[in-house]
Amino acid sequence: MIENIDLALVNWSRGQFALVALYHWLFIPLTLGMTYIIAFTQTIYVRTGDKEWERIAKFWAKLFGINFAIGVGTGIILGLEFGTNWANYSWISGDIFGAPLAAEGIMAFFLESTFIAVMFFGWGKVSKKFHLVSIYLVAFGASLSALWILVANAWMNYPVGMVFNPDTARHEMVDFWAVLFSPYAINKFLHTITSGFVISSFFIVAVSGWYLLKGRNILLAKRSIVIAASFGLLSSVFLATTGDGSAYWVAQKQPAKLAAMEGLYEGQEGAGLVAIGMLRPGKQIGDGEKAFVFKIEIPKLLSVLGYRNANAFVPGAEDLVLGNAGQDIMSADEKISRGKVALNALAEYKEAVALDDMQSASAAQARFEENYYYMGYGHLFDPNGIIPNVPFIFYSFRIMVMLGFAFIALFLLILYLAVTDKLQENRWLLRTSILAFPLAFLASMAGWIVAEVGRQPWTIQGLLPTMVSTSNINANAVILTFWMFAALLTVLVLAEFKIMTTTIKRGPDNAKKGGENV
Amino acid sequence: MFESLTHLQLQHYWWFIMSVVASTLVFLLFVQGGQTLIGTLGKNEDERTMVINSIGRKWEFTFTTLVMFAAGMFASFPLFYSTSFGGAYYAWKIFLVCFVLQAISFEFRRKQGNMLGQKTYEAFLYINGFLGVFLLGAVVATFFTGSEFYRSEYNLSYWQTTLYGIEILFNPLNLALGIALLFLARTLGALYILNNVDHEVIEQRARRQVGLNAVVFLVFFLYFVIRILLKDGYAYHPETFEVYMEPYKYLNNYLQMPAALILFLAGVVLVLYGIGITWFKESRKGIWFSGPGTFLTVLSLFFVLGYNNTCFYPSSYDLQSSLTIQNASSSHYTLTAMTYISLFVPVVAAYIFFTWRAIDKHKINDEDMKSGDHHIY
């Protein structure tokens, strides 16, 4: 199917996607969450008629606007990058993967872009109620957009609702609802969107906290903190719950990712969860060495979280690579050889069809279908390659989880002190809350690493390896455009930071009227 | 409901939908055209601000329609998505850069702390309007002139030149459509601003620009259309799917599909009428004719491109690798599912119409730009 693999092409293509996604994700969480917070604030204004609430909503909307534009700009690159850099993937998965993207366009993007115009330009021009509804529609549109793109992403991790058509040489959708309502997709959507809510809440808490430290915009800051900390608290609790769901589905569908998350080399029944641990550097699969320098484990918890059963067997990296007959786990070698049978059968089928030899074609097709489940393995050479980078995933996962729990406590504390009006006396907490904003990004990026690096070596789990998913172009073209985007986006992102901080420093009152941008 | 349609019917339906989106996009390029006229129409800060806010309130519709076209092609004709984007690589990447520049420029232009300065962001808007539109036209021209790619039996495509899309510029027909589209966008931009901004001096300048740009547009557009109608086209046999060159293919398509011909003629007449009343009758309503005229003309060109057994993305390297609405499309199941989703299109069109009306009730004028109570670019 695909003969020559240029690793430079694969790595730079991954690099380019990661680069743009990294920049994109700096802005999207704020879009996802701030719209709701602005909507809540404006709702209070419409209900009470208290002009201060409107002023608060307007201020956050101004920051939201600066942030939104660059999210849109980086988003279009990602959307088209499936075609430009992952052309093979786009064809092989396009019959399933394209539909959610188009649905996102029709249902979400137009909703966002239409009502964002009302939100920005409608203050005082359209009725208060229509304006408020528009803000909610922008928020809803952003969430809906997240739903569709995460449905597409979930399908890559847990492909469902399709069959492989040897004539067109691609996966074809047979059940739209299975793709949309895949439990993996629902969970991924809820987990990701609430992480956006948490980041947005910290953004507002951090900016407001800075005002309190400076003794400026006190009313705006206090009111904003109450709203954002409440939203953040609810979201962070929900985030932990959906995190549990995520781990469950990873255990069910991506055992190699789970093994990497836990640094689990030898599978065991009643496996414990490593709370804190340090992996032994240089540990290799099957070398008989211990995996950890030290670890503190919560007994049986991994089996409970992954399988809802305290004594369930959790396969480790070695079981998955070397096989484990007792647990009915096939070795990677066996999967690779079955995969090669599938790919050869597909080639024979193609040849037979071209020669109009229907008998050979149907024999080849039967052999292909028998081994179809392993077809992705047919492209692999190294059995160890089915396990993603263990230390990277292991530590990223721990950073995410620890910060996630810390955030719940922090929101609780902030909210308590805000309601009892003791925030200004606790300056250390205000400083911590400012620090929490970048930490929330760190947690979120760590989660992204677990999800996406943890999926390697696959673009479509088990069915299509990353290394055969790229476009068939010269690596130099990808390297050149990588640096082009790196330079461009870095400049734009720096400009955006500068505008953001300048706008925050000036605060809601200091914007000059007329001529100057408000 | 839609399950009973044949695969071929669904492929026709989806080519129709994508043609509608593409035609809407070309009309909405008035935003880009307007971006190249900022300095021409606005000679001082206040005037430029009015022009920028006039088109700036619409930029997201153009942008979203563009994204919709890409995503729609991915879902309905994924082989086009993988072949063209993954092959004409540099052309699409530079095109993308143009649109990233646009996405931030309206918002950042006059913000304090924007690092690069107001002039730079205005230059970005110019680059987007100029290069972005030109490239789009040139790439779309390859739908008629062909590209150099080979498609394997696994439907994976291999570009045959390492220029990856730069070679598009070496064909005069591609250049002609690029230039025509650029000057059409500028004409539409001038027509739109003329209608939307309430300012006598800007109106006069815009009127002059309509005339100047329309002349250039017409020269290149006529050159392109006449050459296309007289050239051999990429046809395929409906049963064997064999691709062959047919003399006067696109002219034949117009003659064999009179509806497309009527759309084309009506479209061209409307475009000219809109320009004419602006130029000769001092009317401000030109955009209401030239806009829909543009839509109809582009629609007819896309019909001629995709229907009547024509290859809509031909390979000049290997005829049999050419893409048609039949071999490039999604499966019957996916097109059916997408057809249900397409029922949202009229809903979207309706709410866009009503919100535009709500926002555009007042024309943009000096006073409006100085009031501090809403968002101004």
Q: Where are the domains of chain B?
A: 7-233+245-367
**To the nearest whole angstrom, how far is the Cα of B161 from the nearest Cα of chain A?**
10
Which residues touch B137 (CB under 8 Å, ≥6 apart)? Answer: B177, B178, B179, B180, B181, B182
Do the Cβ atoms of B72 and A105 come within 8 Å?
yes
Which of A95, A124, A514 comes nearest B334 by C-beta? A95
Q: CB-based contact (8 Å) between A72 and chain B?
A: yes
Do the Cβ atoms of B155 and A120 come within 8 Å?
no
Amino acid at B10: L
What is the predicted pLDDT for the residue at A4? 73
Which of A84, A95, A113 comes nearest B78 by C-beta? A95
Do the Cβ atoms of B86 and A68 come within 8 Å?
no
How wide is the angle at C-alpha B121 spanned by C-alphas B94 and A481, nearest 5°? 25
**Rounded Cα distance, A89 and A468, in Å:** 8
Among B10, B31, B45, B60, most A C-beta atoms within 10 A, so best to mutate, is: B60
Do the Cβ atoms of B103 and A126 come within 8 Å?
no
**To the nearest whole angstrom, how far is the Cα of B186 from the nearest Cα of chain A?**
23
What is the predicted pLDDT for the residue at B282? 87
Q: Which of B349, B60, B371, B360 is nearest to B192 (CA)?
A: B360
CB B233 within 8 A of CB B249: yes
How many C-beta atoms lie closer than 10 Å to residue A234's C-beta? 15
What is the predicted pLDDT for the residue at B372? 58
CA torsion through residues B84, B86, B88, B90, sign: positive
Dihedral, A338, A343, A346, A350 alpha carbons, nearest 10: -150
What is the predicted pLDDT for the residue at A509? 75
What is the predicted pLDDT for the residue at A516? 36
- Judging by DSSP bridges, how do beta strands A458-460 and A313-314 pair with one another? unpaired
Q: Which of residues 8-47 of B touch A (CB under 8 A)?
A: 45-46
**To the nearest whole angstrom, how far is the Cα of B298 from the nearest Cα of chain A?**
21
Q: CB-based contact (8 Å) between B359 and chain A?
A: yes
Which of A102, A491, A516 comes nearest B75 by C-beta? A102
- For chain A, the structural domain boundaries read 7-254+388-506, 262-317, 332-383
> Any idea which residue has 């810390």 for tokens?
A406
> Any idea which residue has 């955009």 for tokens?
B287
| Chain A residue with the nearest C-alpha to that of B349 | A110
Kindly list the residues from chain A whose CB atom is less than 8 angstroms away from the CB atom of residue B196: none
Q: CB-based contact (8 Å) between A368 and chain B?
A: no
Kindly list the residues from chain B whose CB atom is less than 8 angstroms away from the CB atom of residue A169: 153-156
**Rounded Cα distance, A517 and A506, in Å:** 13
ipTM for the complex shown: 0.92
Q: Which of A479, A120, A495 is nearest to B101 (CA)?
A: A495
Kindly list the residues from chain A whose CB atom is less than 8 angstroms away from the CB atom of residue B363: none
What is the predicted pLDDT for the residue at B375? 67
* Token reading at B160: 């045959």
* Token reading at A419: 């309601």
**Rounded Cα distance, A99 and A115, in Å:** 24
Which residues touch B132 (CB under 8 Å, ≥6 apart)? Answer: B32, B95, B98, B99, B102
Do the Cβ atoms of A83 and B154 come within 8 Å?
no
CB B105 within 8 A of CB B118: no
Do the Cβ atoms of B330 and A124 come within 8 Å?
no
How many C-beta atoms lie closer than 10 Å to residue B241's C-beta? 13
What is the predicted pLDDT for the residue at B293? 97
Q: Which of A149, A163, A145 is nearest to A93 (CA)?
A: A163
H or E element: which one contains A465?
Answer: strand A464-465
How many C-beta atoms lie closer than 10 Å to residue B276's C-beta? 18
Q: CB-based contact (8 Å) between A179 and chain B?
A: no
Q: CB-based contact (8 Å) between A484 and chain B?
A: yes
Kindly list the residues from chain B whose CB atom is less than 8 angstroms away from the CB atom of residue A484: 93, 97
Instruction: Give the tens place of pLDDT for each residue, A129-174.
Output: 999 999 999 999 999 999 999 999 999 999 999 999 999 999 999 9
Q: CB-based contact (8 Å) between B237 and chain A?
A: no
CB B191 within 8 A of CB B209: no
- Say whether A458 sits in a helix, a strand or coil: strand
Low-confidence ranges of chain B (pLDDT < 50): none
* Token reading at A189: 């959507």
Q: CB-based contact (8 Å) between B156 and chain A?
A: yes
CB B57 within 8 A of CB B65: no
What is the predicted pLDDT for the residue at A2? 66
What is the predicted pLDDT for the residue at A517? 39
Do the Cβ atoms of A91 and B153 come within 8 Å?
no
SS (H, E, C) chain B: CCCCCCHHHHHHHHHHHHHHHHHHHHHHCHHHHHHCCHHHHCCCHHHHHHHHHHHHCCHHHHHHHHHHHHHHHHHHCHHHHHHHHHHCHHHHHHHHHHHHHHHHHHHHCCCCCCCCCHHHHHHHHHHHHHHHHHHHHHHHHHHHHCECEEECCCCCEEECCCCCCHHHHHCHHHHHHHHHHHHHHHHHHHHHHHHHECCHHHHHHHHHHHHHHHHHHHHHHHHHHHHHHHCCEEEECCCCCCEEEECCHHHHHHHHCHHHHHHHHHHHHHHHHHHHHHHHCCCCCCHHHHHHHHHHHHHHHHHHHHCCCEEEECECCCHHHCEECCCCCCCHHHHHHHHHHCCHHHHHHHHHHHHHHHHCCCCECHHHHHCCCCCCC
Low-confidence ranges of chain A (pLDDT < 50): 512-518
Q: Over the range A206-217, which residues count as b (16 or more CB within 10 Å of their CB) and which as e?
A: bbbbbbbeeeeb
Do the Cβ atoms of B89 and A2 come within 8 Å?
no
Amino acid at A89: Y
- What does the DSSP 8-state code read for residue A105? I
Which of A94, A102, A471 comes nearest B89 by C-beta? A471
Q: CB-based contact (8 Å) between A77 and chain B?
A: yes
Q: Which of A17, A411, A467 is nearest to A239 (CA)?
A: A411
Q: How far apart are the two ends of chain B, measured CA to CA in Å? A: 46
- What does the DSSP 8-state code read for residue A425? G
**To the nearest whole angstrom, how far is the Cα of B169 from the nearest Cα of chain A?**
18
Kindly list the residues from chain B whose CB atom is less than 8 angstroms away from the CB atom of residue A117: 57, 60, 355, 359
Q: CB-based contact (8 Å) between A276 and chain B?
A: no
Which of A65, A109, A515 comes nearest B370 by C-beta? A515
